Amino acid sequence: MQMISARPHVCNHSHTHAPTPPVVSQVQCSEEELGQYRDLVDRAVEARTHAYTPNSHSMVGSSVLAQDGKVYSSGNFELTPYADHGEQLALAFALADGQKPKDLKACAVFVAKEGASVEEARTKQSSMTSCGNCRQAIFEINPEMHEILLASDGYNVEVYRAGDMLPKAYHRDRPEVPNLAPPSSDHPDPLVAQALIARSRSFVPRTNEPVGAAVETVDGKIYTGIRVETSSFSTQAERVAMANAMMHGEHQIKRMVIVGGSSAEGEIPKRLSWDALQAVAQQSPQAEVLLPDGHGGFVSNPIAQVPGYLLTHS
């Protein structure tokens, strides 16, 4: 057996060993498209003001543009120990609204600390790409998406193809998981109906376990969320739905429906997370959580009394 000894690295230079990033070429765009992307950055700047960052105080805004011109924006939400990044939520909002991954065109991100000058921060964004988790997620959802960064003048944009932003990206060929068919008829409770529709839009290539959620705020509005799975993160449907409400300035949840499984009547999701429900409980201790009873009905539980045995960490 041959012994291999580790050879110490010998270096006589005084330079530091920071890795050299590979050069990634920008995508050339029409003036019209560039204008659209500058607007998208403005939407991200605005979305940042809704971020909820009690832990990091680093406020992010992200906006996703779909081919039909619709824009979905989110801040980062630190509702649980694992915070949801702005890009992850904006992507989830778009998919929950019925957009197809291939129809998501571009994603912009804007980052600045709490209390920072936005004008000053605009000139620093070219060194502030989305984090690796988010780039991996964007790549897996649609590698043709454009990632938009502000140039150092704080106004013009630099456009990159998501697939180029991750040279030699981690990739697994997975069989295509078709989405569930949307419900054939609307459930009489509009909140349950929306959760069932959301479930059919889940992006779950890893587990094929779709989950949809819908929250009703004290103002009577409904916001939805879905489970989105990529190699770098999985969003919880209920957390997405709650962030969706908070993005609209609504923090008080009255009722929440969470539905998993593939059957028409739905099941309690296998990976229901206590973290997410605890976050809802902190924001809205009076909330009711409706879960499928397995026979076509939904049982309402005060959030404080959701049986612990139903909840497992994902």
Q: Which residues are near Zn ion by CB under 5 A?
A: 85, 131, 133-134
Q: DSSP assignment, residue 99?
A: -
Q: Closest approach of Cβ 255 to Zn ion, in Å?
A: 30
Residue with tokens 């449907």: 237
Of 90 and 258, which CB lies nearer to Zn ion in the complex structure? 90
Q: Closest approach of Cβ 24 to Zn ion, in Å?
A: 18
Angstrom distance (rounded) from CA 89 to CA 64: 10
Q: Closest approach of Cβ 85 to Zn ion, in Å?
A: 3
Contact 126, 149 (CB under 8 A): yes
Of 86 and 292, which CB lies nearer to Zn ion in the complex structure? 86
Q: Closest approach of Cβ 94 to Zn ion, in Å?
A: 16
DSSP E strands in the chain: the ranges are 58-66, 71-75, 104-113, 146-150, 157-161, 212-217, 222-226, 228-229, 234-235, 253-259, 288-292, 298-302
Of 162 and 272, which CB lies nearer to Zn ion in the complex structure? 162
Of 112 and 256, which CB lies nearer to Zn ion in the complex structure? 112
Distance of CA 272 to the CA centre of its chain: 17
Angstrom distance (rounded) from CA 228 to CA 151: 30
Taking residue 249's Cβ as centre, other Cβ atoms within 10 Å add up to 9
Of 233 and 274, which CB lies nearer to Zn ion in the complex structure? 233
Q: What are phi and psi of 235, to 5 degrees?
A: -85, 145
Of 133 and 283, which CB lies nearer to Zn ion in the complex structure? 133
Q: Closest approach of Cβ 62 to Zn ion, in Å?
A: 8
Q: Closest approach of Cβ 90 to Zn ion, in Å?
A: 11
Angstrom distance (rounded) from CA 226 to CA 212: 5
